[in-house]
Structure 1
Amino acid sequence: MQRDELAGWLRLALTPQLGPVAARRLLAAFGLPEAILAQGEAALAKAVGSPLAQALRQPPEGFEAQLEATLAWLAADPDHRQVLTLGDPDYPTALLTIADPPLMLYRMGRIAAAPQRAVAVVGSRNATPQGLQNARRFSSALAEAGVTVVSGMALGIDGAAHEGAMDGAAPDAVATIAVVGTGLDRVYPKPHLELAHRIAARGMILSEYPIGTPPLAPNFPRRNRLIAALGQGTLVVEAALQSGSLITARLAAECGREVFAIPGSIHSPHARGCHALLRQGAKLVESAQDVLEDLRFVLPAAPAPAPDGEAEGPEGGTTATEDPLLAAMGYDPIGLDDLIARTGIPAPRLQARLLELELAGEVARLPGGRFQRQASA
């Protein structure tokens, strides 16, 4: 993109109070930003009203500095950084289905066409060990089937979803897309700095926010509409009743995307958001294959049948004989006293066995002295 072209789009995007909807009216009326900015105030006022017309007549505060910062960001790695505009043929068509697509979209990483098959995977920042495991395993299975996983690079479920996608994707695939609420010269949250670098190497990071934008609270619920629109479906792994994940699910439904939810324990606050979605019509899923089948994506090859003598496990895996302690635990969080009552195993021996299972990754230790069996996804 040439400097003058970028300057026109950037000035339009940065004009105070001129949102994407009003900007699209201007684009429809006059054409590209250079033509819009060449109009007189009276002509602009007919399209967007007098206050916005007056605002458009002069560059926004800090405009030149923002333009230089954007050009410097692009020049630092032109093979892996790009600014897309509504007038660009590479602009993701999925975003054009929403009411207010960003005028400008910054992207970093593998500069490739938007994937044809994508699923958003979202959930709680304060996820349970089982939730993190589900997010990673579902995302890995989706990626193995050639599906790009979209999420928000937040702590908890988002991070696990990105990790799982990179676990399962082919080396040359766009494994995952992170849609963030800051400028792409910043990483938020800070603990995900290394994750951000790996996502850029294996996929893409997208933002509608200008270079230099800090992590402002209103930006994150707003970016959720892009996460919802980029996927053919949205999978909610864990969510409280008041959470950004439910906002993403609502936005997905509003733009005609499928919504999926993983059920959980009736005693877990992390499952209540998913259960609310299920009551509202979201589709219950127990495996990634449920998502693939519903979206009519090509399924991965089926696993070979289990040899004689092996029984199918609770999530489709196999086990010759299920551990009696794991069977007694079930899948809900449970305290040590309740587990002693169920099994009759003395406390010292039970604690030793739980430690063995924890080290093997089959049991997670939760706050409050509780334990939870780890199920495969």
Structure 2
Amino acid sequence: MDTGESLAAWLRLTLIPGIGGKTQRKLLNAFGLPEAIFAADRAAISGVVGDKAASLLLAADNRAGVDSALAWSAAPDHELLTLADREYPQALLQISDPPTLLYVRGRIDLLNQPALAIVGSRNPTPQGINNAERFAAALAEAGLTIASGLALGIDAAAHRGALRAAASTVAFIGTGIDRLYPAANQQLALEIAARGTVVSEFPLGAPPAAANFPRRNRLISGFSRGALVIEATVDSGSLITARLAAEQGREVFAIPGSIHSPHSRGCHKLIREGAKLVETVQDVLDELTWPLLTATTSTSPDDPAPQGSGLLPSMGFDPCSLDELVERSGLTADVVSVMLLHLELDGQVATLPGGRYQRICQA
């Protein structure tokens, strides 16, 4: 990790308005380290990036921003990683536009561990939440670090599941690392910073601008060996992550769902386009040629079935109403209601808005 004047020069380069990553990489390729860029004369700089960029580079005074970032990095578990650092995520060096500098909070060791991205809807079904948590926990238990974007819904569920395992989780965010977003996930972000890693390429104080999140998505996919999509509409940002993963040469996985659910249509679209259909954790591990998963928990045939389990075959996996269950099962409404209560307490059924119920698949 760079320190002192060298790190200040990296910050100075990345904090110049109008000098984006592409221009920064041109300058670094031409001059080497940032100190050499700022030591070059105007003619040499203009010859590489043109007069306008040279003027921006030489006229900018961003000392206050540099000082703030250096002060931030002095706190425990806060790091600034540049392209020249060996701790920089090596997987990101394989993509076409790696960030010049990353703001990192938490465990640096996770940045160069094998990873899988899990992304999906911000408004998932209870089944989607359950799938995300269980798949993330099992994949992390198998040794894969789970990457996601700290968004509401599937992202947050994947982070929560992964925190149960040593492989843990990395959250790539679309704001400055000092502005955790969304507010509803701030406590989760603090847990990830304590037991996993939070990463941003944006300067301190950067707000949640819409353009930031597609840029963030390329890091989620580029950091990972593959991307698993769990519930997504056809216009979901998760499909952007999946497209980026494919363009970056990563595997794309999708979990199918009900033909009646708009949350499944994005996944079905991906599967039609060649994504790997996933029904079990082992499907992902097999495709990645990862060591076989050793089951740590199972339901024994001798385990007592929860009261109400006889209703499950009548439910299927699509949302249904009480009246539909009464008709399918041939039981009275009172009996079905009691069974549903027991199944919900056992974590096998979720209550949906509008008085509907859905069976939760135990992945």
TM-score bracket for this pair, using the shorter chain length: over 0.9
Q: Is 46-55 or 126-135 further displaced after alignment?
A: 46-55
The yes-or-no answer on 1:290 pairing with 2:261 is: no
SS in 2 for 1:365: strand
Task: Give the Å deviation of 1:145.
Answer: 0.7
1:96 aligns with 93
1:137 aligns with 134
Task: Give the Å deviation of 1:72.
Answer: 1.7
List aligned pairs for 1:247-266, cutoff 5 A: 247-266=240-259
Task: Give the Å deviation of 1:17.
Answer: 2.4
List aligned pairs for 1:126-275, cutoff 5 A: 126-167=123-164, 169-170=165-166, 173=167, 175-275=168-268
C-alpha distance 304-251 of structure 1, shift in aligned 2 (>3 A): closer
- Alpha carbons 2:242, 2:252 under 8 Å: kept: yes
Matches of 1:210 and 1:283, distance apart in 2: 36
Q: What letter is aligned with 2:86?
A: P
C-alpha distance 99-336 of structure 1, shift in aligned 2 (>3 A): same
Task: Give the Å deviation of 1:288.
Answer: 1.0
The yes-or-no answer on 1:68 pairing with 2:67 is: yes
Task: Give the Å deviation of 1:119.
Answer: 0.3
List aligned pairs for 1:43-122, cutoff 5 A: 43-60=44-61, 63-77=62-76, 80-112=77-109, 114-122=111-119
SS in 2 for 1:235: strand
Matches of 2:226 and 2:305, distance apart in 1: 32
Task: Give the Å deviation of 1:160.
Answer: 0.7
- Alpha carbons 1:262, 1:284 under 8 Å: kept: yes
Task: Give the Å deviation of 1:57.
Answer: 1.0
Q: What letter is aligned with 1:227?
A: I
C-alpha distance 371-57 of structure 1, shift in aligned 2 (>3 A): same
Q: What letter is aligned with 2:319?
A: P
List aligned pairs for 1:344-359, cutoff 5 A: 344-359=330-345
Quote the sequence identity (%).
Answer: 55
1:314 aligns with none
2:322 aligns with 336
- Alpha carbons 1:90, 1:113 under 8 Å: kept: no
- Alpha carbons 2:306, 2:343 under 8 Å: kept: no
Matches of 2:298 and 2:54, distance apart in 1: 68
1:13 aligns with 14
TM-score normalised according to structure 2 size = 0.94
List aligned pairs for 1:23-42, cutoff 5 A: 23-42=24-43
Task: Give the Å deviation of 1:70.
Answer: 0.9
Q: What letter is aligned with 1:7?
A: A
C-alpha distance 159-282 of structure 1, shift in aligned 2 (>3 A): same
TM-score normalised according to structure 1 size = 0.91
- The count of residues paired between Structure 1 and Structure 2 equals 362
RMSD over aligned Cα, in angstroms? 2.1
Structure 2: runs of 5+ lacking an equivalent: none
C-alpha distance 11-320 of structure 1, shift in aligned 2 (>3 A): closer
Q: What letter is aligned with 1:13?
A: T
